[in-house]
Structure 1
C-alpha cells in the first residue's frame, strides 16, 4: 500500500479530524484553512511545483520556518497571527504523523518549531469623541453607507469579534424591546446574548427593514447579497477611520481595526464601572483574567488609585549651571 499523499492527508485532516471527530466550529475550520492554504502556496512557489504535486519533503521544517518569516516580513503579520498560523500547521502534522511513520523525523522537526514570544502591549481603543466621529463617517444617503453605519454601531457597542459580526444571521437579532439583544456563538462554542442599546436597536431595525432578508440571510452583505469577508470589513473600517480623521484628528494617529472596536466597547464598560467578570461574560472570554488587560489601559482607574497615595514631602533641588570657564576646560 502506497504512502498517503500530502493532498490526501490535508483532505483527511479537514473532513475527518476537524469536521467529524472534533466537530470544529466554522471559524476554526476557516482559520486552519487560511493558514494551510498560505503555507501551500508559499511552499509551491519555493519548490516550483503546483500545490497538488507537493510532497511531505517540500513542506519540511526549513520551509515552514521560512514561511513564518515571510508572514512577518512580507505580509506584516503580528506575532499573534504568526503563532496562530503555526498552531494550525502543528495540528495538521500531529494528525498526519501516524499515517507517515517514514517521515517522522521531518514531522518532529516541524513540531519542534516554537511559537514566538509576544510582548505584552496596552490595548488601543477609541474615545467617545473618536467613536462618534467614526460612526458619522459613512454616507448614510447611500446603501453602502447605511450598511457600514449599522455594522460600525453594532461593533462599537457590543464588542463582537469580527468573525461573529460577519457570521450574523437575521434570526440572531432580537429586536423586541425590552430584551433586545444579539445572539452569537464565539470561541469554544460558547453561546451568549449581548444586549443592545436603544440607539443601536434603532439603527439595526432600520437596516433590517431595508435588507428585507429571510431569517437565514446574513445581516451584513455585499452588493450581490453574499456574506461579507473579513478583509472587506477591515477595509471599510480603515476607510471610515480615515474619513473621520478630517473632523477628529486624534483618530488619525491610531490604527483602527475591527478589533479596536471590540476594545472600545470593553473600555466603555470599564470606565462606566462595570466589573471585569461581567465584561468577560460580555466579550465571551473564557476567563476573567483575559479581561485584566483593560485595567492596564484604563488611566482613570490608575489616577484614582494614585490620588489615594500619600506622596513624600521632599522639595525639588535647585538647578545651578556650571561655571562657564570650568565647563570649557573640562571639555578640552
Structure 2
C-alpha cells in the first residue's frame, strides 16, 4: 500500500483505540467482543460522515480478518457490521474558461508565480493526482517520447502522455526558474521545489489553488483533484474513449472511470443518436 493509505488505515485503528481508552474499556484486539464493536460503530455513526464511517469499518474488517487468519483470535467481531450505503457523488469539474481564469490570476512576475502556472498546467494536462504531481522527478520526464513516468497509488507506475505546450512550459521552468533555486541534497531530482529547496507538500498545492480561486472569483468548491476530474471530463467531451482515459488516469477498474460518462450527459445522448436504430428518422 502507499504511505498515504497506511496512514489512513492507522488513523482508523486509532479511532477504536482512543474510544476504548476514553470509555475506560480494557479489551485488546484479541479479546474485544462483537457487542463492544457494535457500540463503537453506533458512536461512530453519530459523529462522522457516512464515507468516513464506511472507510473505518473497512479498515477494521481487514484488521480483524488478519488477526483471525494469523490465529490471534478465532472469530472476526466485524463480521456482522455493515457499512452505510454510499451513493456515488458526481465529481466537480472546471470548464476550460474557468481553468484559464485560474491561470490568468497567477502573478507571473515572480519565480514562484511561474512555478505555480506550470503546476496547474501539468495537473490539468496530465490528469495527475496531487500526490503524483509532488512526487514527480526530473528523471521521470521522457519528453523525446512525449510521456512522463508517474508513480501512483500503491507505488504503481504508468506512462502518461504529455502535450508539446506543457513540455515547453516545464522545460522553461527547469531551465529558467528552477535552475536558480538551490535544492537540498535529497531533492536534487525533485521537479517542483519550495522556497527552501525541498519538494512541495500536497497541502501547499491545495493552498495555492485556493488562493487562485479567490483571486479569479470562482465560487465553486475546488481542489487539486478537480483538475484531474476536468482532464477526464474534457477528454470524454471531445471524443476520447473510456479505455484510453482509464489508462491515463491509472484506474484499476473501468467502473471507476465510467463516472465521467454521467458527468457529461451529452456523451450519452451522442452515443444514443449514433448507435440506436430508432434514435432519429
Shift of residue 132, structure 1, vs aligned partner: 0.8
> Which residue of 2 is the match for residue 90 of structure 1?
61
Aligned to 1:132: 100
Would you say how many aligned residue pairs link Structure 1 and Structure 2? 266
Matches within 5 A, 1:290-301: 290-301=256-267
Q: What whole-Å deviation, never above 9, does each CA across 1:58-85 have from its counterpart, x for those lacking one?
A: 995233553454332xxxxx62x54334
Deviation, 1:292, is 1.9
- Under a length normalisation based on structure 2, what TM-score does the superposition of the two structures give? 0.78
Secondary structure of the structure 1 residue equivalent to 2:47? helix
Secondary structure of the structure 2 residue equivalent to 1:28: helix
Matched, 1:110 2:78: yes
Separation of aligned partners in 2, 1:113 and 1:221: 45
Structure 2 distance, partners of 1:111, 1:219, is 46
| Superposition pairs of residues 7-26 of structure 1, within 5 angstroms | 24-26=1-3
1:31 alignment partner in structure 2: 8
Deviation at 1:160, TM superposition (A): 1.2
Higher relative contact order (CA 8 A, sep 6+): 2
1:228 alignment counterpart: 200
Match of 1:168 in 2: 136
Deviation, structure 1 residue 307: 6.3
CA contact (8 A) 2:94 2:227 kept: yes
Contact 1:181 1:194 in 2 (8 A): yes
Distance 2:222 2:193 in 1: 21
Shift of the 171–243 alpha-carbon distance from structure 1 to 2, 3 Å rule, reads: same
Cα separation, 1, equivalents of 2:198 and 2:41: 34
2-side partners of 1:48 and 1:224: how far apart?
46
Q: Give the secondary structure class of the aligned counterpart of 2:112.
A: helix
Q: Quick check: 2:134–2:192 contact (8 Å CA) kept in 1? A: yes
Task: Measure, in 1, the Cα distance between the counterparts of 2:66 and 2:95.
Answer: 45
| C-alpha spacing 1:305/1:274, structure 2 compared with 1 (3 Å) | closer
Report the Cα offset of residue 305 of structure 1: 5.3
Other structure's SS at 1:70 match: coil
Q: Distance in 1 between matches of 2:81 and 2:188?
A: 42
Residues 41 and 225 of structure 1, relative CA distance in 2, 3 Å threshold: farther
Unaligned runs of 5+ in 2: none
Partner of 2:178: 211
- 1:289 counterpart (232, 249, 255): 255
Deviations 1:139-193 (A, max 9, x none): 222343333222211111111122222222222222x34x232211323554211
1:120 aligns with 2:91: no
**RMSD value over aligned CA atoms?**
3.3
| 8 Å contact kept, 1:155–1:165 | yes
